[in-house]
Structure 1
Amino acid sequence: MHNVSNGQIALLVATIACFAVATICSLLRLRRDHEGLRVVGKVVAYLGLLSSVGVLIWHSAERGTWIPLGDNFDTLVCLGVLLAGFVLYMQVFRPLRGLEGFLLPIVILLMTAAVVFGRTQPHDYVNTTWSWVHRIAAYGGAVAFAIACAGGLMFLWVSRRLKSARIAGPGPRMGSLERLEHLTLLSVGLGFGLLTIGAITGLARIAETPGDTRLGDQWYLNPKVLLALCVWVVYAVVLHSPINPSFRGRRAAVLSVVGFALMVGTVVAVQFVPSGR
């Protein structure tokens, strides 16, 4: 078990506070686009990203290895850093107003989970190629689905504003429906591919140790496996929405949000459901 010092927890709490302020500024700008709010939100978001990277460096130095995803703390902070980095990258090169207000809360949840679960290891990882590919694909898919969820929520928000004929109000526009749908489908496509790789390599790990799987002999009935299967099916429907007009637009956005909720349920199951023998 890797120790997480009180100093690392304190720095991570400060990181959460920075991202919370950035989120509030972004949400306030949806009502009134003020330059001061934009500057403050941008500054604290960068401070949050820098401090979270500092937490990772500090924790890696104490672990004695720079290989990521070694424990719950490192894994959850890594995911948060990836999401926060994506937000800031988008706002620099492909600005999409309001994106922080929908994605940074997910970053805050990941960082908070790191504080809560940070003093435990998720698994006794097996140092094999299958294990590493499985972990990277699974975590990368989770990041992509979080982005798809944010894109879906923004699509629903913009669609609601358009229908209520309030787009001429004081709030800034958040991008076209076409662009938001493209972001959602692109993220779903990436996440679906990674999830499929993670599922295949996960099955390979089970086959590698027949009769001694952590999920038990009836691993196919384990809640973790069933939830992961539901996530795969939901995103398969979203991924094929371009060839099925009845699932485009609003329905695809709703399904992307539902799929991410199931993904969160899978993560919770990993933490609390017994793993078998």
Structure 2
Amino acid sequence: MPIDATLAQFSDWSFRSAFGVYLLAAVFLIAQYATQTVTAAEQKSERHLVAAGKAPVRPTGPGRIEEAPRRPASERYGGMGYALVVLGLLLTVTSIVLRGFATDRFPLGNMYEFVTMATAAATATSIIALRKMRPTLIFVVVPVMILMFLAATVLYADAAPVVPALRSYWLPIHVTIVSIGSGIFLVAGVASLLFLLRMRFPATEDGANTGALARFAQRLPDARTLDRLAYKTTIIGFPLFGAGVILGAIWAEAAWGRFWGWDPKETVSFIAWVVYAAYLHARATSGWRNTRAAWINVAGFVAMLFNLFIINMVVSGLHSYAGLN
């Protein structure tokens, strides 16, 4: 079937525009992260002045208009960064939709399209989950930008029809669920990594942790908040990814006459799913709830990346025909 070159070009432009918007958002989010502790210190100083009865007194009188207090610079930076991340997500979704119309198929037929969908899912998850922790959003935006850069360079594929084996109604069902689950796991993995960093450098009253990395870590949300974020996102991603693996087995039976053949892609996907099951079990087990469970979650995230890049691009298997190799 013919390819609409104009729509395909607009899709690529939308993707590149999304990357540029994310880059600008990263600048504002970094500025917010760098300035938030100064604002906290100023607020602490003001609270001490109020407690001592030395707070500045603003003159009042008839007809005087009180000026509304300005928002701290960190909040303004964060608001602009957050808005740009939302805009970047809209542009990414636009690129996915235009790619689908350009090829007259569901836009998940190769690694470029898969990674685009996964980054959109990760961004959407972070926008919702981190709306009250906007400084932390930068730690999702950066890996999203790295994945988008790889998608646009190493993994890029021109808009084209898929091979006959992929012309199935199972394609949008199976691959969409797996890509969304993978995007959610990205947020969970980042949260666990930040949790481990926060546990390594806890806040201290005497200021013992004064190194650069310690000061960097202490600007993060508290460890308990990061741990709960990792757990909640994994709880959502785990059944989605599991459903994707099961639906893939059903598709394999229809396409190849067997549910499971220990293909490298199937095997590593199953291993990653088991690792995440182990994390959820460890998270609910006394003695494993803190750093041990978090390390298991990080291992699951590493398994996902290994499956996405090493298995798809290096190891030959039955999924090679899908353009995911």
Question: What's the counterpart of residue 301 of structure 2?
Answer: 260
Please, which moves more after superposition, 154-163 or 3-12? 3-12
SS at match of 2:157: coil
Question: What's the counterpart of residue 270 of structure 1?
Answer: 312
Corresponding position: 1:58 with 2:94: no
Question: What's the counterpart of residue 196 of structure 2?
Answer: 156
In the TM superposition, what is the alpha-carbon distance from 1:16 to its structure 2 partner?
Answer: 1.3
Larger Rg belongs to:
2
Distance across 2 between alignment mates of 1:132 and 1:143: 16
Question: What's the counterpart of residue 226 of structure 1?
Answer: 267
Do 1:141 and 1:194's aligned partners in 2 also have CA atoms closer than 8 Å? yes
Do 1:97 and 1:173's aligned partners in 2 also have CA atoms closer than 8 Å? no
Distance across 1 between alignment mates of 2:81 and 2:284: 39
Corresponding position: 1:79 with 2:112: no
Deviations 1:17-46 (A, max 9, x none): 221232343334333224353244234323
Q: In the alignment, which of 134, 137, 141 is matched to residue 100 of structure 1?
A: 137
Q: Size of the alignment, in residue pairs?
A: 268
For residues 1-277 of structure 1, the aligned pairs below 5 Å read: 5-33=8-36, 34-35=73-74, 36-64=76-104, 67-92=106-131, 95-116=132-153, 117-119=155-157, 124-129=165-170, 131-162=171-202, 166=209, 173-210=219-256, 219-220=261-262, 222-268=263-309, 269-276=311-318
In the TM superposition, what is the alpha-carbon distance from 1:263 to its structure 2 partner?
Answer: 0.5
Do 2:121 and 2:180's aligned partners in 1 also have CA atoms closer than 8 Å? no
In the TM superposition, what is the alpha-carbon distance from 1:210 to its structure 2 partner?
Answer: 4.5
> Structure 1 residues 53 and 144 mapped into 2: Cα distance closer, same or farther (>3 Å)?
closer
Do 1:151 and 1:183's aligned partners in 2 also have CA atoms closer than 8 Å? yes
In the TM superposition, what is the alpha-carbon distance from 1:180 to its structure 2 partner?
Answer: 1.8
Do 1:73 and 1:119's aligned partners in 2 also have CA atoms closer than 8 Å? yes
In the TM superposition, what is the alpha-carbon distance from 1:132 to its structure 2 partner?
Answer: 4.4
Percent of aligned positions that are identical: 20
Please, which moves more after superposition, 251-260 or 73-82? 73-82
In the TM superposition, what is the alpha-carbon distance from 1:149 to its structure 2 partner?
Answer: 0.6
Do 1:145 and 1:260's aligned partners in 2 also have CA atoms closer than 8 Å? yes
Distance across 2 between alignment mates of 1:250 and 1:53: 36
In the TM superposition, what is the alpha-carbon distance from 1:146 to its structure 2 partner?
Answer: 0.9
Counterpart residue type for residue 238 of structure 1:
Y
TM-score by length of 1: 0.79
SS at match of 1:119: coil
Distance across 2 between alignment mates of 1:132 and 1:51: 21
Distance across 1 between alignment mates of 2:90 and 2:109: 21
Deviations 1:91-148 (A, max 9, x none): 44xx11432121112321332233132316786424245x544323322221221121
Deviations 1:147-176 (A, max 9, x none): 211211221232233167559969874333
Do 1:137 and 1:198's aligned partners in 2 also have CA atoms closer than 8 Å? yes
Counterpart residue type for residue 48 of structure 1:
G
Distance across 2 between alignment mates of 1:160 and 1:133: 41
Deviations 1:63-83 (A, max 9, x none): 235x45344444332222222
Please, which moves more after superposition, 161-170 or 51-60? 161-170
> Structure 1 residues 52 and 88 mapped into 2: Cα distance closer, same or farther (>3 Å)?
same
Distance across 2 between alignment mates of 1:154 and 1:9: 33
Distance across 2 between alignment mates of 1:16 and 1:142: 20
Distance across 1 between alignment mates of 2:215 and 2:252: 56
Distance across 1 between alignment mates of 2:216 and 2:192: 23
Distance across 2 between alignment mates of 1:229 and 1:181: 24
Do 1:29 and 1:172's aligned partners in 2 also have CA atoms closer than 8 Å? no
Which structure 2 residue ranges, 5 or more long, are not aligned? 37-72
Note the aligned Cα RMSD (angstroms).
3.3
Do 1:87 and 1:103's aligned partners in 2 also have CA atoms closer than 8 Å? yes
Please, which moves more after superposition, 165-174 or 49-58? 165-174
